[in-house]
Chain A
Amino acid sequence: MIAVPTFDAELLRRYDRPGPRYTSYPTAPQFRPGFDGHDLERAARDSNDDPIPQRLSLYVHVPFCVSPCFYCGCNRVITRDFSRSAPYVNRLVREAGLLAPLFDRDREVVQLHFGGGTPNFLSPDQLTEVIESLGQHFSFSRDPGRDFSIELDPRTVGPGAIAQLARAGLNRASLGVQDFDPEVQRAVNRIQTEAETLEVIAACRDSGFRSVNVDLIYGLPRQTRDGFARTLDRIVEVRPDRLAVYSYAHLPDLFKAQRQIDEADLPAPEDKLALLALAIERLTAAGYVYVGMDHFALPDDDLARAQSRGDLHRNFMGYTTHANCDLVGLGVSSISHIGATYSQNPRELPAWEAAIDAGRLPVWRGLRLDADDLLRADVIQRLICQGEVDMAAVEDRHGIDFQTYFAPDLARLAELSGDRLVEIDQGLIRATSRGRLLLRIICACFDRYLQQPARMPARYSRAV
């Protein structure tokens, strides 16, 4: 069972170094352009050949946003030209037509997620069209436990649209909030009143959405303890089922929009840590369970329950209860994870459009995992989801001797256990309560690609 994280400012400061967030292992920078549509087809065929083929999880990326939030590092296209939606939807439908035949019809879709950008840049009618088309091409599960979710921008979606999305089959919503503090909102170019946010939460519930997630960010420009405390209190009052509290990663060289942010406005490292401490304190006091990384959930939420069962998983959409799905990505820049492969669509719209128009699978780059990748992915997945890994179980699954195979990794881990971030006891490697906030640092010990200094990328955000 996962320990409640302990906040230790000195420790967090010392370990605040760049590292991957492990929504995949190997991470996306390891994907290579040699992997193409034929490789994807083959991966899908192989996955159909499994005795019990994995069920499917679909991700649909909608890149458009009407205005740039300055903190954002996502792949998006800023436009107010809503006529761009229709051709995008048409191509999504055609992409579904290219992808779906690769998968046997009895492989049910148990998870669908619209991410962005701003998915509700598309009209409710257009989103409904995409869902219906996916439902025709793929076999949607009829299980009420299926997760069909969408990221919503409370500034641009109303109760009518939300009700329509619920009728189209969506049952989970994720709302970007970040901070209610008007000073902060101005500094990040995202003005969003408390009232409109709370209205959207209420509308989701009224329409029958099973769960509502709220995203907050700490470390934003002009953010203060008092302001963030008010945001937390206000949000906790409406009790979203899940909360994500992300660390703002200031990487202006990588993300152009972030150059609009005045570095002088960013909280000093100790202030940023204080914001994290505040979030943990307020949320746990309000009864939220810390799931791991940046995520909190109410104790009776599926995520918290899955974690206590040992059933939690992590993919590009964050934590999920749907273990062992093959992930099929649609839309520009989306990532698929089929069998022992990762693949990604082009990040630029014209390249994605050209492939679809030519009737080709729009694969830009990817990776076939070897036995070492699969083994390390298994270890990292368990650490990041359960906070612990059973070494004997890993040996049994992969046919290795843990101590021998991971000798250099365990040596790296020794530094962390010296600081009591991890303990190794009775065959378990376990993150301590002090290590809970530094899971990515613990996982990084097992990341083979980080041990190649030439490849050590400056493109990863810091740990806290």
Chain B
Amino acid sequence: MAVNSARLPEAAAGRAHSCSTCAFTNLCRNDGIDENVVAQVEALLVDETSQYAEGQHIFREGDPFDSIAAVRGGTVKTYVLDREGREQVLGFHLPGEVVGLNAIHSQSFPCNALALEPVVLCRFSFRRMSELAALIPDLQSRLFRLLSEDIGKAALLSGDFSADERMAAFLLSLSRRYARRGFSPTRFNLTMPRTDIANYLRLAPETVSRVLRRFRDDGITQIDRRDLRLLDIGRLESLALPVLRH
């Protein structure tokens, strides 16, 4: 959140680095925002870091919506349960990404959010966002931009795509999102369980493994348990083309 670490007290300075990759940073940094404003934004943080253990819920469907959270470390899964109680994975939120944005138009969270590994979150009080709006003139359009990024992710899944196409698009999406936050686009951990990947991509878990094994054998990726490397982005891109064009 804070961008000028020199202006922050000692304890907060360490935070500045990871904040520089946060999606929210774009709300308050650059674009001629007054430095004093940044300090006030800082003050508007609620609960500014909360920690969650692996398997712990961050919010559940129906919980009152009063804050937006950005992932500082770890991976968050969002999901809903259908009428039969079956889980449907909506998405994965990586470090620097925002969770709960789809609640922005309602009073309560429309989905569940679960920490897939130890997670650290920064929370922003939504109620006090209006105070922020006074400080940052085009806050609303900035929020809309974040929101559309979020919706863009979901489009990946609609449409009639093959398993290979879905998987390629999924890996590319992770790669691009990691790159956007300053992480390596070609080597990262697949932090989500196989069953969640399968659920998200609407594939059987065996199919997830089969496709990944094929990618590995074809030299597109290299994989050692969760440690994934993308060796041939070009081939992933051409495989993912129908999905991305969609």
Contact = CB atoms under 8 A, between A and B. Distances in A.
Given A49-B194, A52-B212, A397 B224 contact: yes
Contacts of B205: 104, 106
A64 to B, nearest CB: 37
B212 A51 contact: yes
Nearest to A48: B194
Interface in B220-245: 223-228
Interface in A32-52: 48-52
B188 to A, nearest CB: 12
Interface residues on B, range: 10 to 19
Interface in A332-355: 339
B216 interface: yes
Interface string B36-50: 000000000000000
B195 A51 contact: no
Contacts of B225: 50-51, 339
Contacts, number: 33
Contacts of B224: 397
Interface string A42-86: 000000111111000000000000000000000000000000000
B68 interface: no
B87 to A, nearest CB: 15
A49 B195 CA distance: 7
B209 A106 contact: yes
B226 A50 contact: yes
Interface residues of A, number: 10
A281 to B, nearest CB: 40
Contacts of A104: 205
Nearest to A397: B224
A219 B209 CA distance: 49
Interface in B179-201: 190, 193-195, 197
Contact of A53 (B190, B209, B227, B228): B209
Interface in A418-449: none
A138 B193 CA distance: 21
A217 B212 CA distance: 45
Most chain B CB within 10 A, of A48, A49, A50, A339, is at: A49
A52 B216 CA distance: 10
**Top 5 closest A-B pairs, CB basis?**
A49-B193, A106-B206, A52-B209, A51-B190, A51-B212
18 contacts: A48-B193, A49-B193, A49-B194, A49-B195, A50-B225, A50-B226, A51-B190, A51-B194, A51-B197, A51-B223, A51-B225, A52-B212, A52-B213, A52-B223, A53-B194, A53-B209, A106-B205, A339-B225
Given A49-B194, A51-B190, A52-B216, 6 more contacts: A49-B193, A50-B194, A51-B209, A51-B225, A104-B205, A397-B224
Interface of A: 48-53, 104, 106, 339, 397
Interface of B: 190, 193-195, 197, 205-206, 208-209, 212-213, 216, 223-228
